[in-house]
Chain A
Amino acid sequence: MTLFDRVFNGSDAVYGLTEGAINAAIEKHGADKEVSFPNTAYSLPCYYGVTGTKVTNLGELKDALGVAKSLMTREKRLNDAFMSGVATALCAEFIEVLKYIDGAEPYSEPCYGHLADAVIRELGVPLVTGDIPGVAVILGKAPTADDAAALVKSYQAQGILVTLVGDVIDQCAEKGVNMGAGVRVIPLGKDVTAVIHVVSVAIRAALIFGNVAPGDAGALMKYTFERVPAFVNAFAPLDDVVVACGAGAIALGFPVITNETENIFRVPKSLIVQEDVSKFNATSLEARDIKIKITDINIPVAFASAFEGEIIRRKNMQVEFDGSRVDCFELVQTKDASEIEDHKIEVIGPDFDEFEFGSKHSIAYIVEVAGKSMQSDFESVFERKFHSYINCIEGVMHTGQRDMIRVRISDTAFQAGFRAKHIGEVLYAKIKNDFDAVVDKCQVKIYTDAEKVTELRHSLAIPAFNKRDDRLKSLTDESVDVYYSCILCQAFSPSHVCVVTPERLGLCGAVSWLDAKATNELEPTGPCQVITKERVIDERIGEYEDVNEAVKKFSNGALEDVSLYSIMEKPMTSCGCFECICGIEPFSNGVIIANREYAGMTPLGMTFPELASMTGGGVQTPGFMGHGKHFIASKKFMKAEGGIERIVWMPKDLKEQVAERLNATAKELYGIDNFTDMVGDETIAEDPETLLEFLTEKGHPALGMEPMM
């Protein structure tokens, strides 16, 4: 027997029952007898939602049955099975509404049966906000009453709304499970047709909250699929009627998870066999893409940003992990969803109690994540947050990154019960909460076994870091398809727009192209939006039609055009939070750069604040631009005017910070060795004449270049 046969058989059986019941009712009451559900403005909500027709009496109900029959097509195609499933659900609704004839109250404690519109409006709000993250429909009889109770409680603990149909209600009652709308466990009824009362909730949610027009079945199913996070848990044995109802659920976008193995046909993401009932919860959440918000981090000490700056001295240090002495590292790795068991935290090696007070050891923690929208480019973005996450733990200090980390655990944290696994708890909770848009599953491995850490550092961590560095090096403006806007600063610089490219990070120095990409993914309506770069206007100065359009849009019309690589022609604007300012130095045909920390005078006769007042405010000032420190060694640094060869002066501190990378770029572009030796600083000159003498003596290349203006 195929799945089609089962659906069609079940659907025929229910149709037969319904027809019999309606005929019997007409015989008893007459065709004009009124039928309705109590306390709803939506007639028979499922039928009304799908067809747009209101049914008021038995005669109309009979007509409606004819419409349902017409949906029960019998081609062996998926759509026929789905529509037969929907028709089966409609039949169930007809059977249920007959129970309410003459104002009868067919359901009694603890069962609810039909739910009033008011309940839906009330449940709808937390459903829309995600406070109720999902709706579980549990159907049939669990293998044991304990299984039933455990499953219901697992959903309850996650805030998921649970509806129960069939024997599972008695099983829960037997185990003393507290039931009722207040505790979000709603027993509907013991007949399988009672399942329609939860379908009715989903349909009315679409009509009320989704503004779906009754009768627009396509929009209805789109809404329930996208916005009603429901799923079905159906216990074996499944008869054909349940299979047919299941097809209806799948048509609405609700996956069915079952432990039935006989005569069942797996449909990926829709009909899932999970033989282990204790795993129904995890399987269902994954199938329906439901993410549970973590509100409490389960650790014995406090977690707050107030502890971020806490310093742990040697005498208060229970144990230290020091990457400068022994092997240590921290790493995020993207895995396939099947390789990850969500919230699994493993400690491999001795725990903190086995270390002597004040001793030094190896540690490695690997956070493995999976998600449909996860990209390996985000790994380093997450990893950079570890410093803040671990520092926010009371009594724990963290410095450094990658394989140069140092972590100290204080004696008081240790005495409070803080152990290795709690690092995992914190990383798990923060990653899942902060990056829920891209992380579906996450597990943490903590290694304290020194040999294992050493081995993994060389076999896993270092190759991963090298790979990332290579990726960063290969990331050029030409190698990517899109750039990103950043308008985070518009609160105080209303017309400023940063165009963030791989080789030109945001001028604040805090937003690289990868950061912007991650921000865009995590907050799609946020400050970083995709900018295409398809229609080039002028390659030399880096001007694109699409970039100009984006800048005009994001600056609300204040800026018309901008170049990416020129300081003289249509330079990019600055807000006010630039790390550095670059300004033209006319005597030498060059530019000087001043960083924010530099308090002294520059050869332009202006200090940093004086330069800043000319450069900021979101206006284009040819000859001046704000930029990040990292941009100084970029091959795109004022490329249109000749590039870094133009740099004639920088404060000594800044020069030292960027020397290595800047010299490498100078060597690559112009074959100049130790370029920074030719660049002046405040110890050499603070006025243009002395600077010019120095540059002439050193043979600085800018002197022989074309004047910039």
Chain B
Amino acid sequence: MPLNKKLQKFSATVRSVELGTGDKTTTLGGSNTYPFYTFDNPTTNTAKIGIEISDLGLAEEPDCMKEFYAGCETVVDMAKKAVTVEGADFLVLKLIGGDPNGENKSIEELVETAKSVADAVDFPLVVEGCKNVEKDSQLLPKVAEALQGKNVLLMSAKEENYKNIGAAAGLAYDQLLGAESAVDINLAKQLNVLIKQLGVDVGKVVMNVGSAAAGYGFDYCISTLDRVKGAALGQSDDSLLMPIITPVADETWSVKEASASEEDVPEWGSVVERAIDMEITTAVACLSCGSDAVILKHPTSIAAVASMIKALV
């Protein structure tokens, strides 16, 4: 009996969002099938990978990252090295140092860091805040202002501060806006609606619908990705058709599987391998459930995930 292929065609397509300027742009989104369902429709744009560094440099990085960035004196040096990593499509600069409960760096200093990185590398750039809602609501607008014309993605606007960040990034300074919600399709949708009502062009919005390390409440994350993608494509839900970006490294490098030393748990084997495995496992799961881009840290993970993407499309 011949095999009758039944194709699942959707009328909706996830929006394509261009990050960066000139030759070095990368496109997020643009798919109209479930992830890697190339048999339903050929994939025109593949999932993308970001490589992350932070304004804190190497101070709090694990040894394997110190080794990789050996010889880098400044954050700018690290940025230059990061963009050479095979498989990385964009650079992510995290301004963790701004956290009032941490180093509490001034906004001017952080903006200066962001500016020097943006000027030093000709590569699509994502700038993440320090995750303190109040600080980010002041910091990210200033970053948006300083990086005018670079078409960077600012992460993230949340329900509490979407107006400040959305108005600055989306309206005043014409950048891209990341909308972050906590693993709930309705919260994601509501935030997108609010951002739209603010007047921001929805074609410039990228979502982070929540992330977790595999095994750490990850099922919530997965089912949210799955449902968002399903509603976006299946119901052509305009307020969910933004591409999804998922910060993976942020979650995976701090869990015990990735950080417990070999002296403490010799039976678990090499700490570097474990950390990389966690990162790859989580990233692959996110990509196969709906993320259009993931943010990773280690070059080995990036190479592995990039080769998987390449093999599947």
Question: Could you list which residues of chain A lie within 8 angstroms of chain B, going by C-beta atoms?
Answer: 121-122, 124-125, 128-131, 208-211, 227, 487, 490-491, 494, 525-527, 553, 556-557
- CB pair A557–B234 under 8 Å, yes or no, is yes
- CB pair B231–A556 under 8 Å, yes or no, is yes
Q: Quick check: is B109 within 8 A (CB to CB) of the other chain?
A: no
- CB pair A128–B234 under 8 Å, yes or no, is no
Which residue of chain A lies nearest to B223 when distances are taken between CB atoms in the complex?
A494
A487 and B190 CA atoms in complex are apart in Å by 12
- CB pair A208–B172 under 8 Å, yes or no, is yes
A211 and B201 CA atoms in complex are apart in Å by 9
Residues of chain A with a CB closer than 8 A to B183's CB: 491
- CB pair B190–A556 under 8 Å, yes or no, is no
Q: Quick check: is B304 within 8 A (CB to CB) of the other chain?
A: no
Decide yes or no: A211 and B199 within 8 Å by CB, A125-B168, A487-B186, A490-B185 being known contacts.
yes
Q: Quick check: is B309 within 8 A (CB to CB) of the other chain?
A: no
Q: Quick check: is B193 within 8 A (CB to CB) of the other chain?
A: yes
A464 and B145 CA atoms in complex are apart in Å by 55
Per the 8 Å Cβ criterion, residues 169-204 of B in contact with A are 171-173, 183-187, 190, 193-194, 197-199, 201
What would 11 more interface pairs be, CB under 8 Å, given A209-B171, A525-B193? A124-B172, A125-B167, A125-B172, A128-B171, A129-B163, A129-B164, A129-B167, A494-B227, A525-B190, A553-B235, A556-B185
CB distance from B52 to the nearest CB of A (A): 27
Residues of chain A with a CB closer than 8 A to B237's CB: 556
A405 and B145 CA atoms in complex are apart in Å by 54
- CB pair A128–B163 under 8 Å, yes or no, is yes
Q: Is the interface of B mostly helix, strand, loop or mixed?
A: helix
Residues of chain B with a CB closer than 8 A to A526's CB: 190
- CB pair B190–A491 under 8 Å, yes or no, is no
Q: Which 10 A-B pairs have the closest CB atoms?
A: A129-B163, A128-B167, A121-B172, A491-B184, A209-B171, A125-B167, A556-B231, A525-B193, A125-B168, A129-B164
Residues of chain B with a CB closer than 8 A to A490's CB: 184-186
Interface centre among A122, A487, A494 (most CB of B within 10 A): A494
Q: Quick check: is B57 within 8 A (CB to CB) of the other chain?
A: no
A-B contact pairs, 17 of them (CB 8 A): A122-B172, A125-B141, A125-B167, A125-B171, A128-B167, A129-B163, A130-B163, A209-B167, A209-B172, A209-B199, A227-B199, A491-B183, A494-B223, A494-B227, A556-B227, A557-B230, A557-B231
Residues of chain B with a CB closer than 8 A to A494's CB: 185, 223, 227
CB distance from A195 to the nearest CB of B (A): 24
A289 and B187 CA atoms in complex are apart in Å by 29
A129 and B199 CA atoms in complex are apart in Å by 12
Decide yes or no: A121 and B163 within 8 Å by CB, A525-B194, A556-B227 being known contacts.
no
Residues of chain A with a CB closer than 8 A to B223's CB: 494
- CB pair B173–A121 under 8 Å, yes or no, is yes
Pick the residue among B145, B198, B231, B235 that contacts A128 (CB under 8 A). B198
Which residue of chain A lies nearest to B174 when distances are taken between CB atoms in the complex?
A208
Residues of chain B with a CB closer than 8 A to A553's CB: 235
Which residue of chain A lies nearest to B239 when distances are taken between CB atoms in the complex?
A525
A533 and B84 CA atoms in complex are apart in Å by 60
A553 and B235 CA atoms in complex are apart in Å by 9
A208 and B172 CA atoms in complex are apart in Å by 6
A557 and B228 CA atoms in complex are apart in Å by 12
A208 and B186 CA atoms in complex are apart in Å by 30
Which residue of chain A lies nearest to B187 when distances are taken between CB atoms in the complex?
A491
A556 and B237 CA atoms in complex are apart in Å by 9
Which residue of chain A lies nearest to B184 when distances are taken between CB atoms in the complex?
A491
Residues of chain A with a CB closer than 8 A to B197's CB: 525
CB distance from B116 to the nearest CB of A (A): 21
- CB pair A210–B199 under 8 Å, yes or no, is yes
A524 and B141 CA atoms in complex are apart in Å by 27
A131 and B199 CA atoms in complex are apart in Å by 17
CB distance from A325 to the nearest CB of B (A): 45
A125 and B145 CA atoms in complex are apart in Å by 11
Residues of chain B with a CB closer than 8 A to A208's CB: 171-172
Residues of chain A with a CB closer than 8 A to B227's CB: 494, 556
CB distance from B234 to the nearest CB of A (A): 6
A130 and B223 CA atoms in complex are apart in Å by 35
CB distance from A264 to the nearest CB of B (A): 36
A494 and B209 CA atoms in complex are apart in Å by 15
Interface centre among A125, A131, A211, A525 (most CB of B within 10 A): A125
Which residue of chain B lies nearest to A495 when distances are taken between CB atoms in the complex?
B227
A553 and B238 CA atoms in complex are apart in Å by 13
CB distance from B155 to the nearest CB of A (A): 18
Residues of chain A with a CB closer than 8 A to B194's CB: 525
A556 and B240 CA atoms in complex are apart in Å by 12
Which residue of chain B lies nearest to A117 when distances are taken between CB atoms in the complex?
B172
CB distance from A162 to the nearest CB of B (A): 21
Decide yes or no: A557 and B235 within 8 Å by CB, A125-B172, A129-B164, A494-B223 being known contacts.
yes
A491 and B183 CA atoms in complex are apart in Å by 7
